[in-house]
Chain A
Amino acid sequence: GAVVSQHPSWVICKSGTSVKIECRSLDFQATTMFWYRQFPKQSLMLMATSNEGSKATYEQGVEKDKFLINHASLTLSTLTVTSAHPEDSSFYICSARGGGPGTTDTQYFGPGTRLTVL
Chain B
Amino acid sequence: ELKVEQNPLFLSMQEGKNYTIYCNYSTTSDRLYWYRQDPGKSLESLFVLLSNGAVKQEGRLMASLDTKARLSTLHITAAVHDLSATYFCAVEKDIRIQGAQKLVFGQGTRLTINP
Residues in A lying within 8 Å of B, measured CB to CB: 31-32, 34, 41-46, 49, 51, 57, 93, 97, 104, 106-107, 109-112, 114
Taking CB atoms and an 8 Å cut-off, the chain B residues in 80-115 that contact chain A are 88, 95, 97-98, 100, 102-108, 110
What is the predominant secondary structure among interface residues of chain A facing chain B? strand
The answer to the question of B21 belonging to the interface, with a C-beta cut-off of 8 Å to chain A, is: no
Give chain B's interface residue range (CB within 8 Å of chain A). Answer: 20 to 34
B107 partner residues in chain A, CB cutoff 8 A: 42-43
| Of B31, B88, B95, B102, the contact of A43 (CB 8 Å cutoff) | B88
A49 adjacent to B42 (CB under 8 Å): no
| Of A43, A49, A57, A112, the contact of B105 (CB 8 Å cutoff) | A43
A110 partner residues in chain B, CB cutoff 8 A: 42
A46 adjacent to B43 (CB under 8 Å): no
Known interface pairs A49-B100, A112-B41; 8 further A-B residue pairs with C-beta atoms within 8 A, sorted by A's residue number: A45-B105, A46-B103, A46-B104, A49-B95, A49-B97, A106-B31, A107-B103, A109-B42
